Chain A
Amino acid sequence: MLLARPRICLVAALIGSVVLGFFQGQIDPYFVDILSHIGINITLAVSLNLINGHTGQFSLGHAGFMAVGAYTAAAMTLFAGPHVLPATAGPVLPMLWFLLALLAGGLIAAAAGLLVGAPSLRLKGDYLAIVTLGFGQIIAVVFRNIESLGGALGLNGIPPYTNLFWIFTTAALTVYVVTTMVNSTYGRGFLATHDDEIAAEAMGINTTRYKIVAFVIGAFFAGVAGGLYGHFTLTINPKGFDFNRSIEIVVMVIVGGMGNTAGVIIAATLLALLPEGLRDLAGRSIPVPWSSTPLSLHWIGESRPLLYSMLLIGLMLLRPQGLFNLRRGSSKAPC
C-alpha cells in the first residue's frame, strides 16, 4: 500500500520537491526536462483518473482544460505581469504572481469543467466521450480565433517561471487531494457512481453532482498543470493541446489502471520516459548478420502513437484493470 498514509507521503513528496528545486541548477538540463515532463504528466494523469477512473466517466477532453489553464496563466504573467510587478521586483514577487496565475488558470479551467460538465453529464459513456472530445475541439477553435492570444501561432516569450519545485509540489498536492477525497466518507459517492449509477441513485446519491464535482476538480488540476506546462515550454499554441494530447493522458490512466492512483503515477512516469527511450533507439542501428549495412531503427521514432493504440486494445482485451494494478481482479478499489 504505497499511499496508505497520505499525509506522510505528502510531506515526504513536498520535501522532495523542495530539494529537487534547490538542486535544479546542478542537474543536467536534459534530465530536468525529463523530470519536468514526469511531474506534469503525473498531475494530468492523476486528475484525469478522478474523472475516468474513480467516477467511471469517460472524458476525452483533458487537454482542453489544460489549454484553458495554460492560456490563462500565460496571459497573466505575459500581459498583466509587467503592469502589476514593479520593474525592480526581487525574485519573490514574480513567484507570488506566478502562483496567482497558476491558481487563476486552475479556476478558469474548473469553470470550463463546470460549463461542459453541467449540461453533458446527464449523458452516458459514449456520448460523454464524444461531447468532451468536441469540447477539446471547440477550445482549440476558440483560441485560434482570438487574435490577442496569438491566433494559430499562440503565445511566445512566456517567462520561464516553472521549476521542479513548482511541478512536484503540484503533483504531490494533486495526488494528496484526489486520494484523500476519494477515501473520505463523502468521496465514496464517486465510487458508487462508478460501480452502479442506477443503484447509487436509488440509494439517494446525487450522481450528477458527484460527476460534476469530479469534473470540476479534475479540470482545476489540469488547468494548473497547463499553467506549469506553458511556463516550462515558454511557447504555447492551440495545436499543442489537441486530441492526441488528451489520448496520451487517457493512455496513462488506462495503463496504470483506472482508479488506481499508484499505478497511474508509475504509468505517467514511464510514458514520459518512453519518448526519450524511443528517440534514443531511433538514433541507433543494430548490426544484422545477413547484411553488411546495419539495420537502422529509425522507424521506431514514428511508432509511438501506434504503440499507444496497441496498448489500449491489448490492455482492454487482456488486462482491463491496468498494467500496474497489483491487486488482481479489482479494478474498482481506490488507490
Chain B
Amino acid sequence: MKKWSFFVPVLLCGFVLAITGCKDSSNSGASGQTIKVGEFASLTGSEASFGQSSHKGTLLAIDDINAAGGVLGKKFELLTEDDQSKDGESATAVKKLISRDKVVAILGEVASGRSLEAAPICQEYKIPQISPSSTNPKVTAMGDYIFRVCFEDKFQGGVVLAKFALQSLKAKRVAILTDVSAAYSAGLTTYFKEQFIAGGGQVVAEQKFTKDDKDFKAQLTAIKTQNPDAIFMPIYYGPATLIALQARELGITCPLFGGDGWEAPELVQGPGAAEALEGCFYSTHFAPDQQTPEAQEFVKKYEAKFGAKPDAMGALGYDSALVLADAIKRAGTTEGAKVRDALAATKDFQGVTGKMTIDPERNARKPAVILQIKGGKFVYRETVNP
C-alpha cells in the first residue's frame, strides 16, 4: 500500500511529462519540403457540426491546391488542432501551431469568440490569420494580420436582412427575439435595428432569452399581443426550431427569418419542424443550388469526397484556404509580412462563395444569398450584393 501510494503520482508525473515534453521541434515550414498551414477548429464538442463542415471544406481545398502542383513549387501541409468548442483552448492550440509547428499562416475559427482569442497571438507573431466564417466585426479589428473571407454582421444584419425585410417581405412591423448569451445574436440585432428603423420599419417587440432556454412561450405570448408582420430571430439553429414550433402552437402565423446561424440541416429535423418553418427565410454565404460554375464544381467535388452536400461553412472553409494560396502565390514567399500585404491586396477573387475583395478593414466585400425553407429543403431565393 505504501509503495503504491508513492509510485502512482511519480509514474503519472513521468507519463505526462514524457508525452508533452519529448516531441522534438519540427523544422521551419518555409525551409522544409512543404508549406505548413495551421488550422484550429471545433472538431468536437458543442459546435462540432460547424467545425467539421469548415474543416472538410479546407481539406478539400488543400487537396485541390496540391493536385494543381501546390504553390511556389511546394505542396501545402495542413496541421489541424481541435479546440473542442471550448473557450480558453484556442490560444494554446494556436501558440503550439505557431511556435512548435512553425506554420506560415493560421486558418480558423468559425465562432467569433474563439477567433478573437487567437487573433492577438497571430498579430504578435506576425502570422496572417484568416477566419473562414467569424462574422463579428470585432474579429478583424484586432490587428492588421487578421482577415476573413466571409461578410460581417454589420453587412448581414444591417444591409442584407433589413433590406430584405423591408423590400421583399414588405414587413413594416417586426418583432425581434435575441439570444443574449451569444455575441453573434446581440450584434445582428443591433445592426438590423439601426437600418430597419432608418428604412422606415418599426420594431414592435424585443424579447430576449439565453442559450439554455427551451421554453419560449412566455416571450412568444408577449410578441403575439403586438401582432407583428414578421419575427426576426438572429439566433442559432437549435433554439430556432423550438421557437418556430412553439410559435405555431400559440397560433402565430407570420414568417420568421434569421441569419447564417440557421444554416444546418438540423434546423428542419424532428416532428413538425419543417412544417413550422415552411416559407421562412435566412441569409447565408452560399447556396448549393446557386447557379455559378465555381459553386457547382465545388458541390460536385465535395459530394464525391464526403458523400454529402456542402453547406456555407464548408464553402467558406474551402475559400479560406484558396485565398491564402492565392496570396502566397502573389507574394512569392511565405514570409508573414509579405503574405499579409498580398492578402490585403486581394481583389475580385472568384471563390465558390462569390467574387470577393478584401477591404481596408480586412473584411471580405462579397454578396450574400437568401434561402427559403420549402418542404423541408433550403431553396435559393435571391442574392444581395454589397
Show the binding face of A for B, using Cβ within 8 Å: 28-30, 33-34, 37, 141, 144-145, 151-154, 156-157, 160, 233-235, 237-240, 266, 270, 273-277, 279-283, 298, 301-302, 323-326, 328
Contacts and interface: CB of A to CB of B under 8 A. Distances in A.
Nearest to B82: A301
Contact of A153 (B45, B95, B186): B186
> Counting chain A CB atoms within 10 Å of each CB, which of B20, B44, B117 scores highest?
B20
A228 B136 CA distance: 26
A160 B91 CA distance: 13
A326 B12 CA distance: 15
B87 A29 contact: no
A324 B11 CA distance: 12
Contact of A279 (B81, B125, B180): B81
Range of interface residues on B (Cβ < 8 Å): 35 or more
Contact of B88 (A151, A240, A280, A301): A240
11 contacts: A29-B95, A29-B99, A29-B125, A34-B20, A144-B210, A153-B186, A156-B116, A234-B120, A237-B113, A277-B19, A298-B43
Contacts of B88: 233, 240
10 smallest CB-CB distances across A and B, nearest first, come from: A153-B183, A29-B99, A240-B87, A277-B19, A234-B120, A152-B183, A30-B99, A302-B44, A273-B16, A276-B20
A153 B113 contact: yes
A235 B45 CA distance: 21
A157 B123 CA distance: 11
Contacts of B23: 280
A152 B19 contact: no
Contacts of B167: none
A156 B137 CA distance: 12
Contacts of B19: 277, 280-281
Given A156-B119, A239-B113, A266-B9, 12 more contacts: A28-B25, A29-B99, A33-B96, A151-B186, A153-B183, A154-B183, A237-B113, A276-B20, A277-B20, A279-B81, A283-B81, A323-B8
Contacts, number: 117
A273 B87 CA distance: 17
B186 A152 contact: yes
B22 to A, nearest CB: 10
Interface in B22-78: 23, 25, 43-45
Contacts of A275: 89, 92
A167 B259 CA distance: 42
Interface in B102-119: 112-113, 116-117, 119
A238 B20 CA distance: 30
B198 interface: no
Contact of A28 (B6, B9, B92, B99): B99
B14 to A, nearest CB: 11
B91 A33 contact: yes
Contact of B5 (A234, A302, A328): A328
B2 A235 contact: no
B377 interface: no
Contact of A301 (B44, B120, B136): B44
A151 B180 CA distance: 8
Interface-central residue, A28, A37, A238, A325, by most chain B CB under 10 Å: A28
Contact of A152 (B84, B120, B180): B180
B9 A273 contact: no
Contact of A144 (B9, B93, B120, B181): B181
A35 to B, nearest CB: 12
Contacts of A282: 82
Contacts of A151: 180, 183, 186
A120 to B, nearest CB: 23
B9 A152 contact: no
Given A145-B180, A276-B20, A324 B9 contact: yes
Contacts of B81: 279, 283
Given A153-B138, A302-B45, A233 B91 contact: yes
A30 B138 contact: no
A80 B136 CA distance: 25
